[in-house]
Amino acid sequence: MTAGSLIRAARKSRKLTQRALGRRAQLSQPHLSLIERGHQNPSFDAVERALRAAGHRLVSVPTVRDDTAAIAADIRIAVADGRDDLALRRFIQLNDNLRAERGAARFALAISPPEPTGSRQWDAALAAVVAHHLGAERLPLPDWTDTPERALRRPWVLGEGPYTLTPPPDRVPPEFAKRRVLVDEDTLASA
C-alpha cells in the first residue's frame, strides 16, 4: 500500500474531503491531492499528520505481503482492462497472503478498507475471503466486510468461465455463501 492510498483510505473511512483533512492536518488540499494520486512522495511527518487527522494511527507489522487494499487496487485495474484472469490471480494471491500470516499480521492485511474495484462481484469476494481467514482465527472482522455493497443479490461463481463448475452448496464456505460468492472450499486451500 502506498502512502497516498493509505491516506485516501483513512480520509474516506471518516468521510472527509481533502480540504477538511488538510485543515486538520495542516496540509494544503493540492498537496494532499498530489500525495493521494501518487504524484508526490510525502515525508513520514506528513503521512503521520494526515493519518492522525483522520483518526488513524500508523502501525508497523512485520510482513512482506500485499494487503487487501493494495490487491483491490490491482483488481480495479484488471477489471477496467477487462482482464478477469488477472483479477482472479490477484484474488488468489490475497487468499494465499492471508493463509500465510497469523494473528496481528493477518489482521493487518485486512484492516484498511479497500476502495471499490468497479465490480460488485470482486468487492463481495474480497470481503468474503477476509471474513473467511479472519474468522478461522476468531479475529475481529473489519466493519467494511459487512457493508451492503460487499454482498451480491444474485449468486456469482468465482472465476466464472467456460470450464468453471458451480460448487455444491455444502462446499461453499459460509462467509462466501453469506455474500453469494460461490467458490469451492478446496480452491481456498491451495497455495
Q: Are residues 26 and 105 in the same domain?
A: no
Establish if 125 belongs to a structural domain: yes
Question: How does residue 190 score in pLDDT terms, banded at 50, 70 and 90?
Answer: low
* DSSP per-residue codes, the chain: --HHHHHHHHHHHTT--HHHHHHHHT--HHHHHHHHTTSS---HHHHHHHHHHTT---------S--HHHHHHHHHHHHHTT-HHHHHHHHHHHHHHHHH--HHHHHHTT-SPPPP-S-HHHHHHHHHHHHHHHHHTTPPPPGGGGSGGGS-SS-EETT-STTPPPPPGGGS-HHHHHTTEE--HHHHH--
pTM for this entry:
0.79
Domain tally for the chain? 2
**Could you tell me if 77 and 102 lie in one domain?**
yes
Asked whether residue 12 is domain-assigned, the answer is yes
Structural domain that includes position 48: 3-53
Would you say residue 78 lies in a domain? yes
The pLDDT of residue 50 is 95
pLDDT of residue 58: 82
